[in-house]
Amino acid sequence: MDYYYSETLMIDKYPGIHLLQDHIGTNYGVPWDDFGYIITFKVYYVRDIDKIKIGNIKMLSKANENTSLYFKEHGEEIELKIININGVLSENKLVSIGEDIDYYKKINTLFQPDKIDALLESLCDAGYFLRNQGEYSEWGGYSGSLMRGSSSAAILKKGYQIALGRYNPKTKFELNIESLGDSFDPISFKFNMDRKVGKSNICLIIGKNGVGKTHILKRISEVITGVTDGEEHPPYFHKLIVIAHSPFEDFYTENEIFNKLTVKYSREGSLANKKSLKRKRLHVNEYSYIGFRNQDGIFDPEYPVLKSVESIIKILSYDEENGWWNDKTRFQLLKETLSISIEFDSISILDNGGDEICINEKTKINSIKENINLKKGLIFKKNGAIIPLSSGQKIYTYMIPAIISELEEESLLILDEPELYLHPELEVGLINMLKNILDETKSFSIIATHSSILTREVERDAVTILRKIEGSTKVFRSSVETYGESIDVIVSEVFDDEYVSKPYQKEIDKYFIRDSSSISEIKGYIGNDALAYALSKSDDDKMSFEDE
């Protein structure tokens, strides 16, 4: 097979693999500067009958910070803007890695097994040449551009095996976070998909306000995105998605993550900090924020509405490009998931003229997306009639499309108190929808919560209880099995309700201060727990029991 570096999309008459810089065919005038290294390429496979985009890679040159200049200098130009690079692809001079797992899945779909090794060898794939990592790590740009963040480490570890069709994800593992500070115990999140019932792809963090739940979640995001180092065995996920719909949260937006990465990795002369906000977000591909704060970090109650429509566009665009190799489209997953909690049969959006567009798997969204009104949100219908949504259901319609538009296989979802706007019945719906998404994508989730209903759906080894003791945050496990346990037991055991003084207890205490106190007099006004408390406060010298 022939390999080319091309600066045009007019490549159909040259069968083989074409590498095009990421800006070719877009409105951007220059390629992406990845903290001083220009190494991002689209990979096209040209056959006699068609051309297919396989995905994006980063290809780092040992000799040149701009890999395209290496191709131009050493390759053979066969036509204006098309250079044959068969003779310059050497693992001693170049190393590449796919930007996402889909790249390797498409290779597995497109090529026969006996051709895959030759393809990845020619493209100097880092996973194929795993034995060379010690040497590659000495190259400029390897850590800060090519292998930045744990998602790249995950792809390095799994990509080659996925391309060969040999990869099986782990079903039982721990995510250890130790670098939380001197006042925090190390935390271990235990995921176990081998349980016969109650498979735990969801872990919970439970604790009073101020105990440090948000600090822990933000630390996880810093480690996974590569903003900070410090974990001896960092977690390997392909993507991190943070979901927080509280007006008081302060999780990182994509722009804030990018700015932190810029501080850590940027080199003198790099153009990275001069790029547009939209383009920055395109290249922070291992992290996504879903919440009320816009990309400037400003709280905007209308932002989730806009984000939900953008998410539908992204879902349909992805399906339009990738439907040929996926068994289930993302739009199908969206409808299947939302149908768990909302009864509807169609989703519509509005164009800028106010006309309704009913969308489905066959909608060619790329031809109409410039005329879509992003601010009007999604419209759900049943039998042609618009469905009025509760506040909790609206949160579903903001959250679920955004998650599915961003999710990759083996991702980690972090949710901060998702029960804030939800009736208990909707909490059950949320956990069902999350499990559906996680199962379909082999992904995992960590949820900070005060919900006993969510806790009931998670086994105790996956429940981390935080308590503040003498100024330090300590980690505990439940002494009872939480999966399928009664709400009363969970509230008492996990949420420390037993040790909290209740207002009704104070009222009963005041009542018993009276000279003449009768349980019989008040028992018709109180429930069983209050009655038991009243009996526990009984004093034979002060209290009277009247005959019925």
pLDDT in tens, 434-481: 999 999 999 999 999 999 999 999 999 999 999 999 999 999 999 899
Whole-angstrom CA distances from 217 to 181, 293, 346 are 13, 17, 36
Per residue in 63-93, pLDDT (tens digit) is: 999 999 999 999 999 999 999 999 999 999 9
Q: What's the pLDDT score for residue 272?
A: 47
> Hey, what are 397's tokens?
């319609």
* Chain centroid to CA 130: 27
Q: What's the pLDDT score for residue 499?
A: 61
Q: Please state, as a whole number, how many other Cβ atoms lie within 10 Å of the Cβ of residue 272.
A: 21
CATH number of 172-265+276-497: 3.40.50.300
* In contact, 384 and 353? CB cutoff 8 Å: no
**Ramachandran angles phi, psi of 156, nearest 5°:** -60, -40
Amino acid identity of residue 179, one-letter, is S
3-state secondary structure of 479: coil
- % of the chain beyond a pLDDT of 70: 92
Whole-prediction pTM: 0.83
> Hey, what are 282's tokens?
């395109």
**How many Å apart are CA 11 and CA 338, to the nearest integer?**
42
3-state secondary structure of 179: coil
Question: Counting beta carbons within 10 angstroms of the beta carbon of residue 327, is it exposed (0 to 12), middle (13 to 18) or buried (19 or more)?
Answer: exposed
Q: What's the pLDDT score for residue 497?
A: 63
Contacts of 397 (CB under 8 A, 6+ apart): 308, 338, 342, 377, 378, 380, 389
Res 273 pLDDT > 60:
no
**How many Å apart are CA 140 and CA 332, to the nearest integer?**
43
Q: What's the pLDDT score for residue 279?
A: 53
Res 510 pLDDT > 70:
yes
Rounded mean pLDDT of the chain? 89
Fill in the DSSP letter of residue 142. I
Q: What is the mean pLDDT of the segment spanning 11-30?
A: 95
- Which residue reads 């201060």 in tokens? 513
Contacts of 80 (CB under 8 A, 6+ apart): none
Q: What's the pLDDT score for residue 268?
A: 57
Q: What's the pLDDT score for residue 540?
A: 44
- Sequence spans of domains, the chain: 3-164, 172-265+276-497, 503-544
